[in-house]
Amino acid sequence: MSEPTPDSTPPAAVSPRESLLVRAARQLPVDRTPVWFMRQAGRSLPEYRALREGVEMLTACRTPELVTEITLQPVRRHGVDAAIFFSDIVVPVQAVGVDIEIRPGVGPVVAEPFRTRADLDRLPELTPGHVTDVTESVRLLTAELGPTPLIGFAGAPFTLASYLVEGGPSKNHERTKALMHGDPVLWHDLCARLAQISAAFLQVQAAAGASAVQLFDSWAGFLSRADYLRHVEPHSRAVLAAAAETGVPRIHFGVGTGELLVDMAEAGADVIGVDYRVSLADAITRTRGRYAVQGNLDPALLFAPWEALAPQVRRIVEEGHGAPGHIFNLGHGVLPQTDPDVLTRVVQLVQSIPRPGAGG
């Protein structure tokens, strides 16, 4: 099989690593904008809720047959251009032995929060042997997905550290920031360990067949730029550099990160994820048109009437035409009460709009 030439769009059925999503991430021409949704699996889908009946979240994440079925559900239903691996950002820390569970309606809860140097002993490095189920899940999935790319993911060190230090979801991240400033040496050691874990988790997914990876730094927007650059960016940079070795494109995403967008892109991303607070046009200007962009429909707009929603979808696709590559997505995850039929309609609309300048 030969590489597609950069100046032509390949025919529809290609290998996932030549798919629209990967081409857009690599700034290669595409005849239309690829689309997927963060949190497209689960939550809003009745078929997901049926499968999860009586099964704990982390058990579901570690059971390859369930992971495969749950990951495929939104691909079948919505016809999206990529699958997102059904897992959670806390799976790799659980895999190395941290006592953590995901409580319904709450999120990840850590039995013994991390506060001291001795706690680092509870966080060994991750090896592929810790996550053989993940390798198996990705292999099963990529066999089923055919030409549709699978996106692997991991949590970034800061977002993971926040769960470990706070012990669960946090509004203000106060204990995390107290550790960052109160004991910067321990903070850096914790983040360096988490960076190793995230990087190894991404590498396992790419080695087993994922065609792109996304690093979720969901809570980075709670940081000042100075804190981000000093205490966080070097660790995210290390994860993205390790991910680069796999050869698959890297998407870097956070929420409320308008002030950090350039730094997050320059940390080593191929694609910068843009939340809904910053327009794609502004994001493209801020990053000087050097990066592919992903986003950024406000997930709450999926509750608006179609006549109000459709022009917003079109506007975002058109703004994305100004970037060297655009992957349509929401500005954050699908909200649980979203009508899945609206998501399908958004996919169809995005896929109906040609991207100018593809030469085809």
Catalytically active residues, by annotation: 39, 43, 52, 88, 163
Closer to ligand 1CP by Cβ: residue 28 or 334 = 334
Spell out the residues 6+ positions from residue 327 whose beta carbon is closer than 8 angstroms to its own: 21, 24, 25, 33, 34, 35, 36, 251, 271, 292, 293, 294
> What minimum distance in Å lies between the beta carbon of 254 and ligand 1CP?
8
Chain residue at closest Cβ approach to ligand 1CP: 107
**Quick one: 28 or 253, whose CB is closer to ligand 1CP?**
253
For residues 357 and 29, the answer to whether their CB atoms sit within 8 Å is yes
Residue keyed to tokens 């005849």: 31
Shorter beta-carbon distance to ligand 1CP: residue 201 or 216:
216
Angle at 238 between CA 151 and CA 282, to 5 degrees: 65
Instruction: Please say which residue, 205 or 218, places its beta carbon nearer to ligand 1CP.
Output: 218
The answer to whether the beta carbons of residues 186 and 246 sit under 8 Å apart is no
Q: Which of 174, 319, 308, 332 is nearest to 253 (CA)?
A: 332
Question: To the nearest whole angstrom, how small is the minimum distance from the Cβ of residue 293 to ligand 1CP?
Answer: 18
Minimum separation from the CB atom of position 182 to ligand 1CP (A): 23
Binding interface with ligand 1CP (CB under 6 A): 38-43, 52, 57, 84, 86-89, 102, 104, 107-108, 153, 159, 169, 216, 218, 333
**DSSP assigned state of 95:** H
3-class DSSP state of 89: coil
Q: Which residues contact 23 (CB under 8 A, 6 or more apart)?
A: 4, 9, 10, 29, 30, 325
Q: Which of helix, strand or coil describes residue 230? A: helix
Provide the 10 A C-beta neighbour count for residue 50.
8
**In the complex, what is the shortest distance from the CB of residue 255 to ligand 1CP, in angstroms, rounded to a whole number?**
6
Q: Could you give the C-alpha distances from 234 to 20, 41, 156, 184, 258, in angstroms and in order?
A: 31, 31, 11, 13, 19
Nearest Cα to Cα of residue 298 among 338, 357, 260, 259: 338
CB of 256 to ligand 1CP, least distance (A): 11
Nearer to ligand 1CP, 123 or 220 (CB): 220
Give the residue with the Cβ less far from ligand 1CP, 18 or 217.
217
Whole-angstrom distance, CA of residue 176 vs CA of residue 159: 10
CA 130 distance to own-chain centroid: 21
Rounded least distance, CB 236 to ligand 1CP, Å: 14
